[in-house]
Amino acid sequence: MNDLIITPSGCRGIVGKSLTINKTLELANAFGKWAKSKVIIGRDTRTSGPMLESAVTAGLLNQGCEVINVGVMPTPVIIHAKNKLGIKAGIIISGSHNPPEWNALKLMSETSFTSKEEIEEIKKELGKEEYRKGGAVIHYNPLSDYVKDLFTHVKARNTKIRVTLDSGAGAGKYATPKILEKMGCKVTLVNNELINNEFPRNPEPVKENLSKLINLMKTGDYDVGFAHDCDADRLAIIGDDGTIYREDVGLALITKHEGKGTFVTNTASSLIFEELMGKENVIRTPVGERYLAVKMKELKGKVFGGEGSCGGVMFPKFNNCRDGIFAAAKIIEILSTTKKKISQLVSELPEYHSERRVLKNVNMKELSKKLDDYEEVDNDLIIKGEDWFVLAHPSNTEPVVRIISEARTKEKAIELVEWLSSLAVTTT
């Protein structure tokens, strides 16, 4: 297992190399032995999905688990079903935004993705293959319940908003178009189908992968463009003028729209949220969806939030996970309610600038020795000012370290990210 990336965000690897059928079977067997309960499973549209699904099912059945299989389904829909049905454990087979040759087993416990402590407990069960009786598979389609519950939190109807949607041929194509059309949107689909069993674009919904959608927004008569990653927990937004907005803009628009409440986000998210909500109403956690989900479950009253880096939003009263589908529906609600163009709504947000660098082979311990005044949160190193920050974050999904900065001006943001990056590259 040493060549797999195993974190609370999942067990990730290149299919056939670091993530093999035998390893998948062994992991599922260990998870089933640890869970001792019903396990919900589902997957995205990657062509390696059916193969890994068979191995996961076999491993769970070997441990006598009742397997609730929802098939190809967006991650937010799977998690909504898990919580609605009261199932305590789950395995989502999805490489999310990673390149096509990757896939992952996202392991879930009662509240959210498994913790570091739970991952260690599961590892202790690896290699223990004793058979238990009682296993069974039940097939279940959770989409109608998800859609029904979503519309108790999204009010807009008959919007006639013109939307382009790039699902990247991911699992979001089975949910997001249906929901937008129910809201009265006129939906044009882009990159919605696999081509010769290959994705029409790289799964990560970033500028360099969305040229077709961006060009369509520039040349066509559309109000807003949306793009998902492979499992639809992420959302990218393209404006009516063809501008692709930074990842946290959608979350900022929803935050401003929702107004009062307690807002939960992570240490790498924008300072814009304190400005929109007031510092006393913002709680920050370490980076990682699990941290937010656990914190939100502890709080009472109106609670919402999300991680700025993904574009998804978390509304625990509906779905205590990052949800790019729900975020898209909320953006449509905002456009319908305000009667403004999305470019105007974005221009009315407080202005911050962010810069990022992705580095390999960074020694975080050595980097910390070069910093005089920093805060360590989980695995992150953070340096803060009055209206700026810069941090080094070891990725939970890739063998890289992300250097992230934010400031009031672009020049300051660039200066900060280049300063910390220069220190980081000398630690290799």
pLDDT band at 338 (very low <50, low <70, confident <90, very high): very high
Domain boundary among 308, 330, 347: 347
In the chain, the number of structural domains is: 3
Clarify whether residues 168 and 90 are in a common domain: no
pLDDT digits (tens, 9 = 90+) for 359-416: 988 888 889 999 888 888 888 899 999 899 999 998 876 778 999 999 999 999 999 9
Candidate list 48, 94, 96, 336, residue with the active-site label: 96
- The CATH number assigned to the domain holding 119 equals 3.40.120.10
pLDDT at residue 206 in the model: 93
pLDDT at 129 over 80: no
Res 324: pLDDT: 96
pLDDT class of 428 with cuts at 50, 70, 90? low
β-strands 262-266, 235-238: how paired?
Answer: unpaired
Say yes or no: 284 and 410 in one domain: no
Q: Dihedral (C-alpha) 120, 125, 126, 131: value to the nearest 10 degrees?
A: -160
Q: Does position 309 have pLDDT exceeding 80, yes or no?
A: no
Choose the final residue of a domain: 347, 373, 400: 347
Catalytic-residue membership of 115: no
Pair 309, 175 in one domain: yes
Nearest of 13, 235, 169 to residue 104 by alpha carbon: 13
Domain end residue (candidates: 288, 320, 347): 347
Q: Does 130 share its domain with 71? A: yes
Residues 17 and 98 in one domain: yes
The domain containing residue 366 runs over which residues?
Answer: 353-425
Same domain, 138 and 159: no
* Same-domain status, 125 and 204: no
Ramachandran sector of residue 331 (left: φ over 0; alpha: ψ -120 to 50; beta: rest): alpha
Tally the C-alpha atoms within 13 A of residue 178's C-alpha that lie toward its C-beta. 12
Question: What region does 106 belong to: left with phi over 0, alpha with psi -120 to 50, or beta?
Answer: beta
Distances (CA, A) of 388 to 213, 249, 300, 383, 413: 32, 17, 30, 9, 8
What length is written for the chain?
428
